[in-house]
Amino acid sequence: MAGEIALLQRIKAFNDNAIREVEEFVCDGNLSALTRKYEANLKKRDVDIGFNLFAIISDIYHREDFHSDILKALIDPKGKHQEQKKYLHLFLEFIRSHGAAINLADYKNVQVKREEGRVDLLIKDEDSKKAIIIENKINNAGDTQRQLPRYLEYVRENGYTCNAIIYLRLNGHAGPDTTDWTDDDREQVKAILKVICAYDETNNDLLNGWIFKCEKVSTNPDAQHILRQYGALIKKLGGNIMNKPIMEKFYKIIVEGENLKTALSLKAMVDELVLYRVERIIDKFKSDLAPFHSIDNSKDDDAYFTGLIWKNAHLGVDIAVEQESYSFQFWDRNDREGMKGQAKAMLQKMGCLDEYTPNNGSFSKKFAFPSQEEDLIKHITAFKKKLDGVMATRSKD
């Protein structure tokens, strides 16, 4: 017996220690601040761009050529936007702000070419013989063999001086793959290479530093509308990977000491919390079922009241439990599609039909967790009482 008691004491000490580690982990100020940033970032990812033409043609905007075509249409002074050199000048000022050695006077007779010499976008001036290479990586396409050195060679062989190579990424500032470059390639390209990201929430990304500025100076409403919609698309695409800096900070926290083990324990506990909440509801009402006859657990995420027969209907309530919510559902288990209308008829008799949302034969009401958990318990209690009252009245009739 003494050995069993000692074993139980060790188990208790182990569990107490595990709980203490989880509590300390959860209450860590740096981690709490980081999780708030991560939650805010998740909201940014879910960007509603509304009735957006680019979202409608979603099978197109994932292609690299799509973004190059849009950029060409905007930068080209001869484009159909009717804004002449406004967008070009703003773009030149934008890349100058990133350190590109650009003289606006060298770009008065500009041609903007797509795929000339395989270059995504080539801005060249026929008078000054100056040029700018734009390599579009907004959709994170990989680099081909000696891609930028080959482009630079093409431009120079055709008699132009290349002022800048713009390596345009969706997010981040990583440069091109140089593993197959020569030392001379690296020296020549590095001198004029500027890595620019489309969206990183700074004032000098492509979205804020150029697209939004173009929208502000536009006098053509059609061009302004396109810029606004394209900007919304860039923000949505960029937001999808904006959590990398946050994850880097989280990584530094998680590799310290026992933090990974504690985090995995916490994750397991959170995963089991749904089941625990189901059991809490069952424990709360198992001795107070009327007018139902039983309550049970379905698939570890649903506490369901059953056993109430009324006019050939089998009326039931399900409390579907999710990570951040509860769904109160009232329905006829003999009529999953709700075609007979008995559940609806009962709610009408109870005078509370308007409280619920029809949903595939059931009538439901949402409650947030944890803020509305107590409201849910009160709602179940009141609903059962009202339902029991109607049943008692009908039985007397």
Instruction: Tell whether the model's pLDDT for residue 14 goes beyond 50.
Output: no
Among 4-8, 57-61, 131-135, 333-337, the range with the most confident prediction by mean pLDDT is 131-135
- Predicted pLDDT of residue 45: 57
* C-alpha span between 381 and 294 (Å, rounded): 15
pLDDT digits (tens, 9 = 90+) for 214-262: 999 999 998 998 898 888 888 878 766 656 677 777 888 888 887 888 7
**Neighbouring-strand partners of residue 327:** 320, 366
Compute the mean pLDDT over every residue in the chain, rounded to the nearest whole number. 84
Residue 13 has pLDDT above 50, yes or no: no
Does residue 136 sit in helix, strand or coil? strand
pLDDT of residue 8: 41
pLDDT given at position 171: 81
Nearest to 135 by CA among 126, 146, 127: 146
Closest CA relative to residue 166, chosen from 143, 210, 191, 133:
133
Give the pLDDT of residue 32: 63
Nearest to 119 by CA among 156, 85, 91: 156
Instruction: State the number of CA atoms in the 13 A half-sphere of 95 facing the CB.
Output: 25
Q: Which of 90-99, 182-191, 262-271 is least confident?
A: 262-271
* Exposure class string for 366-379: b at 16+ Cβ within 10 A, else e: ebebeeebeebbeb
Q: What percent of the chain has pLDDT over 90?
A: 57
Query: How remote is the C-alpha of 183 from its chain's centroid?
Result: 41
The whole-angstrom separation of Cα 382 and Cα 369 is 19
73 near 80, Cβ under 8 Å?
yes
Determine the average pLDDT of the residues in 189-203: 91
Can you give the pLDDT at residue 172?
Answer: 77
C-alpha distances (whole Å) from 186 to each of 145, 176, 293 are 13, 10, 78
Strands 161-169 and 193-197: parallel
Res 142: pLDDT: 79
What pLDDT, in 10s, does the model give residues 327-379?
999 999 998 887 888 899 999 999 999 999 998 889 999 999 999 999 999 99
CA distances from 335 to 123, 312, 338, 339, 351 (A): 67, 10, 5, 7, 21
Judge if pTM exceeds 0.75.
no
> Which residue in 355, 362, 348 sits closest to 320, CA to CA?
362
DSSP-derived letter for residue 355 is G
Please tell me the distance from the alpha carbon of residue 331 to that of residue 317, in angstroms, as a whole number. Answer: 7
Mean pLDDT for the stretch of residues 38-51: 60
